[in-house]
Structure 1
Amino acid sequence: MGIEITRPYVPILVPVILLFMYLILKKLKGVVRKDKLILISRIIILILIVTGISDITLNLKGENVSTVFLLDVSDSMSGFKNEGIKFIDNALKEIPKNNKAGVVVFGDNASIDKFMDASKEYKQIKSAPVVNSTNIEEAINSSLGLFDKGAAKRIVLISDGEENQGDVLKNIPVINKENIDLKVYKVENAVGDEAYVEDVKVPDNISIGEEFSVITKIQSNVQTKAKLTLFSGRDKKGQQEVQLQKGTNTFVFKDVQTTGGFKSYRVLIEPENDSNKSNNEYSCFTNVISKPNILVLEGTAGSSAGVVETLKSANSEFSVISALGAPTTLNEMLEYKTIVLADVHVDDLNKGFMDNIESYVKDYGGGVVTFGGENSYALGGYKDTALEKILPVNMDKKGKNEVPQISISLVIDKSGSMSGGEGSVSKLTLAKEAAMNSLDNLRATDEINVIAFDDKYQKVVERQKVQDKEAIKGMIAGIGGGGGTSIYPALEEAYKAQSESSAKIKHIILLTDGQDSFGISNYTELIGNMNTGGITLSTVSVGEDADNALLGKLAEMGKGRTYHSDKYTDIPRIFAKEVLLSSGTYIINEEFTPKIVSNHEILNGVLVDNSLPTLLGYVGTSTKDKAIEILSSNHDEPILACNQYGLGKTVSWTSDINGQWSRNFLTWNKGAQLIKNAIYWTIPDLSDEGKISITQSGDEAVVEFYSDSVKNGSKIKGVYSSEKGESGELELTQEEPGKFVGRVKLSDLGFYTFNIREENNDEVLNNYNGAFSFQYSDEYKFNKNKDKIDTLVSEVKGSFINKPKEVFIGDLKSSYKPINLTVPVLIIAILLFLFDITYRRLNLDFKKYFHKFKIRFNINKGKLNRDVYKQNGENASDNRRVSSTVNDKDYKSDLDSSKISSSQSKEEVITKESIEKRKDKKNKKVDKTEKKSERLDTSSLLKNKKQREN
């Protein structure tokens, strides 16, 4: 038996307490018995409290043994998982008495799957550790907390030993110190033909135009042919047909970058003989140092003329491409400090660009500048898109310039010829799509009705307010193809619907690809009625068979616009634009001089004499509440406005930049300065006071940020995004002065961009961009650490096993069962304290209760004896006489004792005279009792007993 004392200095109080009590007892010699009992109980209570505070543990020798199974469930052991479960289950069936067992499953991390208990089965794995790495060191460390204190310890490791995280040899000292019995079931995995990309190296930083090498290392255990391809982003940079040899193979690509920013590289290998595809890609990145690079997107050729001339004269780094070729990923966008859109329609921008433009500005500090034209802002489909969200202007006009209620009639040709089209999409399908899209430009207070026609018309949507757009779209989607073409009846029905509307703006849009048997003269009266009722008419002709002359004349007479397109995919754009133009307020074609609303830094060097040239037109918008309006029109609508959106900045110029409306500005000597200021204001000024380091640990990216200038109270946060679209946020915590660390789990392999920012009181003080390549795990490489298991077993004097029944074989060092005395002794102290209070307050005499208990016990014993004697047949009477005699004597003795005890229960301290008198009285009573008892028989004794009880 062993004794452990957590606080060895506390028991010193015990002799001090005893000495103190001894001195008190010695001084108080005349203390009565009751006070002595109280004093002794209090001494015991104090000693018990001291024992509890000391935290004493008794280690009693026993046979308790704790066993922990460590089951490797990493990817390299995936084929053995079920066998591993079965091995543990069979082993538990052999577990000896007083043994307990637990299970830890592990891969890159460890997870307790079964806590220590005596159960004899293990049927399934309940935990889910990360399986793309193997960390045996972590698994052993996790198992140590499962062992019962004082128990003999055993670890059973089930693994292939292919550790690629941590170092299992670091566990040797703790295994030896804890006397742990280590048993290893080493699993042998068959390795097939395998080749993989081990590493790709590029310089950390390069300059634009500088040629550099991309060095690729390939590992293979077989001689085979392979195709090796190098990518940078979406672009293929090179390809080689190679012959792989066993061992390490090195190949070199050459490349040149012409734009700045982080550039990702990815190497893909496709071997003829290969068993695992998970390790056939490897990525890396480099930082191309350059001047701030600007991307200019044109809606149509030449629409960015003013921007291009300005950037050329400023010697800026820029690229001009069609909006159709806009970047599709966030990483491609981040190659540019700001993006300029010149009269660009949303339909010309790809989905990837629209999905990422907000994050580009908000999270990574990119800039966006938009210039107007007839294909921009509301006319360009910006409403309710990411572009409207980030820009400083709303697409809807508000305030005093708000557009009044609109009522639209859509008259759509559904004749048989409309079933044709380009490819698999018919003209009728596009017409229905156009009608549904036009709803997005209408408000809930606006009205719409839809009429479809062939040789007769059909009311598809009765005139109603646009409150349930989905229901209206569903009705439009149900339009089916028909026969011939008869325009007039349908147009007349549209006129009737509009004439009943109370809207201030009433407009009809007619779409057809055919001809009508009615001549223009037949429409004169109808169009005249429209003019009288304030109803306008626009027409859209599609294809070569449409009667363009008739439709053009109808639009002219109807005071609307006419459109013709052989490109059927333009139909939705035409409809959406026409709905907005029907209000007559989105394109303002008039000359005016812009007014200066705010003396913003964009106007630096521009306002020499506070005079500005005139503009000839613009697209109507409204300024957002938190945006800054710099220049406005004569209708108090924004011409130039700017905005801070997240980390980035945006600017909107609502006139054009190709000279149609802005020619006076472009020929003005300060015009170029204004354009340059607007663009350069959006270029982020990144601080170089911080440094970002990103490394990989298992399936996590470990982000470290270093800065000595972080303001007190600031939080360091970040965002990240992969090439495949995975994104998220993280917060870094300070681990030491100037060092902040955050971890984030990643799932997509490849290139990631990070932005780390310092926030203080919801304000971003600084932000920093970084990059990272997330690689496949070392689990999928050839392992060079298999021999470590052999070394471990040798150093800790462990053993290898192959069968479940071998798990519990072998003698372990004696185990001890720890019993902590703290709780028991404190409970006893509390009970004793309660006894002390009860004894003192109730003035209890325990001797009196003891004697009463003794009397009752003997009487009951007598009764029991008589019952037994009655059953003894012919000797019953003799036995009763004997029993009666014995009981009489016992009763007499007990009665005397009871009387004595009763007299003693009176006052403890009395005079000598009273003591003598009492003795005399007692003697007389005893004599009388003895004489009387001679005459008593058993029946009288029982009678007296009953009287006493009553």
Structure 2
Amino acid sequence: MTFPLELNQPYALLALAVLGLLYYWQLQTLAPLSPWRRNASFLLRCLGVVLLVLALTDPRWLSQTRQTAVAWVVDRSRSVGEEAEKRAVPFFEETQRAAAMPSWKWIPFAGRSELVPTVAEGARVNIRQLRDENTNIAGALQFAQASLPPGYAKTIVLFSDGRETEGDLAETTRALKAAGVRVMAVPVQAPPRPEVLVRSVSVPRQIREEQPFQVGVEIVSNVETDAEVDIFRNGARIATTSIKLKPGTNRLENTQAVKGDKVFEYSAAVRAKSDTIVDNNQAGAVVQAQGKSKVLLIADKPDQARYLAVALRQEGIILDVRPATGAPVDLADLQNYDLVLLDNVPATDLSPAQLELFATYVRDFGGGLLMLGGNNSFGLGGYYQTPVEDLLPVRCNFEKQKEDPSLALALVIDRSGSMGTDKMEMAKDASKAAVELLGPRDYVTVIAFDHEAYSITEMVSAADKAGVQQKISEIQSGGGTNIAPGLEMAYARLPGCPAKIKHVILLTDGVSSPGPFREMVSRMVQERITVSAVALGSDSDQALLQDIANWGAGRYYFTDNPTSVPQIFARETMTASKSSVQELPFIPKSALPAPFLTGIDMTTAPFLLGFVMTRLKPTAEVWLTTETGEPLLTTWRYGLGQSGAFTSDARNRWAVEWLKWDGYGKFWAQTIRKLMRSASISRAQSTFKQERGGMRLTMDVLDDQGRYLPEATGELLLLDPQGKPTKPVLTATAPGRLEAWFPTRDKGAYHLQATLRNGTDVLETQYLSASTSYSEEFLLQPPDEAGLNTLCRETGGIYNPTPAQILADDTRTASSEMELWIPLVIAALAVFTLDVAVRRWPA
């Protein structure tokens, strides 16, 4: 028989050695006490010390009980619907009549679990909050185990079809078994109903351009019915087929061939006369075409890029031309191209997500990017401190020269209550970025306004950037909106400043109180002060701000995305400084021998009439410079891809003489071919399979003779349909076979970059795509009786029990424990109090 007392800290018993010190002190004491008092006091002190030491051992009194706590875990996912609830409620009531349940919990679940206070509340739970498109049985069982109180034998009664789409039921089963938790499983199946679904769309993973291939569609039906099947390519319907569906699996094929793009997403949708759930009526797949390399030219004004477009096409470059409004918004579109050419496109015409997308495309997916100069490029385009600046071989700010005209910049910032925390923080970041771009000979003043104006900094030298930026950080929002006092304060400070260029940037998100804005701004223009205005959000007075910019001979910007404000401020500051552009004729100079320009005699290259000032990054390669040594053509490797910067343009402004040069087309074609992503033959055969709420990727890595490479390893980078990156683990499951599983909670295309190695040598970088359309929750499947049976058998439960069996013949005992340290401390204090009484009580 096990002794019921347990000491969690038995080493504390060593402290009993202090009893020896007490005995020694007792022998040496000279206190005038009678012998019986002295002995009684000594014994009481020893007893008090023993009680305290026992308390320090953290003693627990253990007891056994046969009382059972029951968790009723009810599947409310879409594959079961209300059927589990209908089955569980009478089952629970009958169990209560058969035997008393000292403690019970009611837990509805789907993708997540929820504890409800009564059975009736379980029927009223918001199933959407339970993420009913998924089934996480493992999570529900773990939640149930944690919900049951200690000191009871724990039983879980599960009502489910056993079809999990999330979680790891096998691992949870082992944990429940180790904890002594018994699981009873009652299989549940939704009532028969007419159902038609697209089980899969199959396409070859890779094809050659214009090579015919089959798009296979597998449709599952449990009824005989008429249906129409639509086939889509990249969202556009390309075929419709009428079909008479029979119960079981139905297959149809459609012959396709593609050209032009490199990534195609095919999907099929079925429309049946007899059907219940529409969520599973569509599925998709992704095919990659191996065709010629392709370039995307994005220009602020595509008609002005016609010279470059014509020259590239004459050199055999396959080219698409788009305005900034047509720039790719997802990786699937961008992956169709091997290089992106940004021709005078300002960052303010692109969203922050698009700027990040370009960086991902180059860094993680091996694409190329080349930026050309112009009045909307580099710093002038607002690329300072953006992801695109990170990928370029040059920085978009530069050291201002002494001969450059000095700038006095007034930042007039709305700090009204409508700005809130997010807008205010972005406005402060933008203001600090603008200050960072100023030179030591420039000046800056910062003014905030609500219903009145506040001086954040006087007109001070921009040499003290840190001090000004610290003051900007202290701006807080609050109050109404009145632009006039802010502009008046800026006007009062600018005329007396010695700077040659004087400029105001006004930012607001609201509607201002009335004021004499036209007269005020006109006076500023007479003093050679220009004014630009930024409207933040649709609630701003856009008409007034546009007028202020027009009256002030400045520029007007509108954005409804606060994260774009720093790019606007950077662009405006660089434009106002008038020093980031050098418009003087110069002959390009070779800085390094450029193998990619073989066959082009650069000594015959004509004048260029201007360029944008930039700063070279330390590891960039400089191929061409201006006559003064400023970078003209630079490249570098960024992650898996390459990028380049040409700081002059390719148009009839600065490159007007180049347009007549017979080396013009060849120069651009060969530069682009250097930077574009290179095609390679894959050594790996890859397949995707939908599995347990996710996708399993299997890669067979082969050598040149088609044999498995036993030392093959790899790394993955995954971008989900929202563009969020993760790194699934690629594990070797057999010699030459690598596998990875990743969750697919969002519908759409998933893009992967796989870096494969043989030992320490990099074999290749492969780009893969897969598509998911709906959860496995919507498949036509019977209950997983084998899985539920295994769960019950491993945990000592009963599969498909009767209500009487839930609590019957449960011989398990549960341990309960009572902490004893608190009563021991109380007893020790009482003993010490008695000791004092014995020694002090009158004789």
* Worse-superposed segment, 801-810 or 589-598: 801-810
- Asked whether 1:340 is paired with 2:341, we answer yes
For 1:755, the equivalent position in structure 2 comes to 753
- Counterparts of 1:566 and 1:381 in 2: how far apart (Å)? 12
For 1:771, the equivalent position in structure 2 comes to 769
For 1:585, the equivalent position in structure 2 comes to 579
- Counterparts of 2:72 and 2:480 in 1: how far apart (Å)? 63
* Worse-superposed segment, 391-400 or 699-708: 699-708
Unmatched 5+ residue regions in structure 1?
1-63, 96-104, 149-153, 161-186, 414-424, 483-488, 556-561, 793-797, 813-950
Q: Provide Cα deviations, 1:813-834, integer angstroms capped at 9, x if missing partner.
A: xxxxxxxxxxxxxxxxxxxxxx
Check conservation: 1:640, 1:652, Cα contact below 8 A. yes
Q: 2:618 aligns with which of 614, 625, 630?
A: 625
Q: Say which SS state the counterpart of residue 359 (structure 1) adopts.
A: helix
For 1:804, the equivalent position in structure 2 comes to 803
Deviation at 1:799, TM superposition (A): 10
Q: Provide Cα deviations, 1:649-695, integer angstroms capped at 9, x if missing partner.
A: 11111111112111233332323222112211122224425214133
- Counterparts of 2:516 and 2:502 in 1: how far apart (Å)? 25
Q: TM-score, normalised by structure 1?
A: 0.57
User: Which is richer in helix?
Assistant: 1
- Asked whether 1:448 is paired with 2:450, we answer no
For 1:61, the equivalent position in structure 2 comes to none
Q: Cα gap change, 1:278/1:394 in structure 2, threshold over 3 Å: closer, same or farther? A: same
- Asked whether 1:463 is paired with 2:458, we answer yes
For 1:739, the equivalent position in structure 2 comes to 737
Residues paired across the two proteins, number: 660
Q: Say which SS state the counterpart of residue 657 (structure 1) adopts.
A: coil
Check conservation: 2:697, 2:741, Cα contact below 8 A. yes
For 1:724, the equivalent position in structure 2 comes to 722
Check conservation: 1:451, 1:461, Cα contact below 8 A. yes
- Counterparts of 1:595 and 1:730 in 2: how far apart (Å)? 47
- Asked whether 1:361 is paired with 2:358, we answer no
AA aligned opposite 1:803? T
Q: Cα gap change, 1:253/1:203 in structure 2, threshold over 3 Å: closer, same or farther? A: same
Deviation at 1:738, TM superposition (A): 3.0
Deviation at 1:718, TM superposition (A): 1.2
Q: Provide Cα deviations, 1:67-90, integer angstroms capped at 9, x if missing partner.
A: x99989694457566766996999
- Counterparts of 1:157 and 1:125 in 2: how far apart (Å)? 6
Check conservation: 2:756, 2:762, Cα contact below 8 A. yes
For 1:634, the equivalent position in structure 2 comes to 627
CA RMSD of aligned residues (A): 5.9
- Counterparts of 1:719 and 1:568 in 2: how far apart (Å)? 32
For 1:933, the equivalent position in structure 2 comes to none
Map 1:485-884 onto structure 2 (within 5 A). Answer: 494=490, 496-498=492-494, 501=497, 506-507=502-503, 537=530, 562=553, 577-607=571-601, 610=603, 612-696=605-689, 697-707=691-701, 716-758=714-756, 766-774=764-772, 776=774, 778-783=776-781, 802-806=801-805
For 1:865, the equivalent position in structure 2 comes to none
| Overall identity of the aligned pairs, in % | 22
- Counterparts of 2:232 and 2:224 in 1: how far apart (Å)? 25
Q: Provide Cα deviations, 1:841-892, integer angstroms capped at 9, x if missing partner.
A: xxxxxxxxxxxxxxxxxxxxxxxxxxxxxxxxxxxxxxxxxxxxxxxxxxxx
- Counterparts of 2:166 and 2:189 in 1: how far apart (Å)? 17
Q: Cα gap change, 1:757/1:513 in structure 2, threshold over 3 Å: closer, same or farther? A: farther
- Counterparts of 1:410 and 1:134 in 2: how far apart (Å)? 53
Deviation at 1:342, TM superposition (A): 0.9
Q: Cα gap change, 1:516/1:201 in structure 2, threshold over 3 Å: closer, same or farther? A: closer
* Worse-superposed segment, 734-743 or 754-763: 754-763
AA aligned opposite 2:651? N
- Counterparts of 2:342 and 2:366 in 1: how far apart (Å)? 17
- Counterparts of 1:356 and 1:612 in 2: how far apart (Å)? 35
Map 1:317-332 onto structure 2 (within 5 A). Answer: 317-332=318-333
- Counterparts of 2:765 and 2:166 in 1: how far apart (Å)? 33
- Counterparts of 1:448 and 1:477 in 2: how far apart (Å)? 21
- Counterparts of 1:550 and 1:284 in 2: how far apart (Å)? 52
Unmatched 5+ residue regions in structure 2?
1-65, 100-108, 111-134, 461-467, 508-513, 536-540, 791-796, 812-843
Map 1:405-416 onto structure 2 (within 5 A). Answer: 406-409=407-410
Check conservation: 2:184, 2:799, Cα contact below 8 A. no
Q: Say which SS state the counterpart of residue 303 (structure 2) adopts.
A: coil
- Counterparts of 1:790 and 1:707 in 2: how far apart (Å)? 37
Q: Provide Cα deviations, 1:685-718, integer angstroms capped at 9, x if missing partner.
A: 2442521413323234333334356999986211
For 1:876, the equivalent position in structure 2 comes to none
Q: Say which SS state the counterpart of residue 579 (structure 1) adopts.
A: helix
Check conservation: 2:72, 2:157, Cα contact below 8 A. no
Map 1:149-164 onto structure 2 (within 5 A). Answer: 158-160=185-187
Q: Cα gap change, 1:688/1:384 in structure 2, threshold over 3 Å: closer, same or farther? A: same
For 2:39, the equivalent position in structure 1 comes to none
For 1:904, the equivalent position in structure 2 comes to none
For 1:901, the equivalent position in structure 2 comes to none
Q: Provide Cα deviations, 1:715-751, integer angstroms capped at 9, x if missing partner.
A: 6211112333343113423344433333333322332
Q: Say which SS state the counterpart of residue 766 (structure 2) adopts.
A: strand
Q: Cα gap change, 1:632/1:779 in structure 2, threshold over 3 Å: closer, same or farther? A: same
For 1:219, the equivalent position in structure 2 comes to 220
For 1:303, the equivalent position in structure 2 comes to 304
Q: Say which SS state the counterpart of residue 805 (structure 1) adopts.
A: helix
- Counterparts of 2:784 and 2:157 in 1: how far apart (Å)? 27
Q: Cα gap change, 1:222/1:458 in structure 2, threshold over 3 Å: closer, same or farther? A: same
Deviation at 1:612, TM superposition (A): 3.9
AA aligned opposite 1:480? N
Check conservation: 1:640, 1:654, Cα contact below 8 A. yes
Q: Cα gap change, 1:722/1:271 in structure 2, threshold over 3 Å: closer, same or farther? A: farther
Check conservation: 2:437, 2:573, Cα contact below 8 A. no
- Counterparts of 2:766 and 2:548 in 1: how far apart (Å)? 62
Q: Say which SS state the counterpart of residue 442 (structure 1) adopts.
A: helix
Q: Cα gap change, 1:473/1:706 in structure 2, threshold over 3 Å: closer, same or farther? A: farther
Map 1:97-136 onto structure 2 (within 5 A). Answer: 119-122=152-155, 131-132=164-165
Check conservation: 1:700, 1:746, Cα contact below 8 A. yes
AA aligned opposite 1:770? L
- Counterparts of 1:316 and 1:234 in 2: how far apart (Å)? 27
Deviation at 1:786, TM superposition (A): 7.6
For 1:480, the equivalent position in structure 2 comes to 482
Q: Cα gap change, 1:564/1:346 in structure 2, threshold over 3 Å: closer, same or farther? A: closer
AA aligned opposite 1:668? W
Check conservation: 1:298, 1:344, Cα contact below 8 A. yes
Q: Say which SS state the counterpart of residue 675 (structure 2) adopts.
A: coil
Check conservation: 2:230, 2:240, Cα contact below 8 A. yes
Deviation at 1:754, TM superposition (A): 1.3
Deviation at 1:340, TM superposition (A): 1.0
Check conservation: 2:456, 2:472, Cα contact below 8 A. no
Deviation at 1:324, TM superposition (A): 0.9
Check conservation: 1:615, 1:661, Cα contact below 8 A. yes
Deviation at 1:228, TM superposition (A): 5.1
Deviation at 1:375, TM superposition (A): 1.2
Q: Provide Cα deviations, 1:892-934, integer angstroms capped at 9, x if missing partner.
A: xxxxxxxxxxxxxxxxxxxxxxxxxxxxxxxxxxxxxxxxxxx
AA aligned opposite 1:467? Q
Map 1:82-231 onto structure 2 (within 5 A). Answer: 119-122=152-155, 131-132=164-165, 158-160=185-187, 187-209=188-210, 214-222=215-223, 229-231=230-232
For 2:9, the equivalent position in structure 1 comes to none
Q: Cα gap change, 1:86/1:665 in structure 2, threshold over 3 Å: closer, same or farther? A: farther
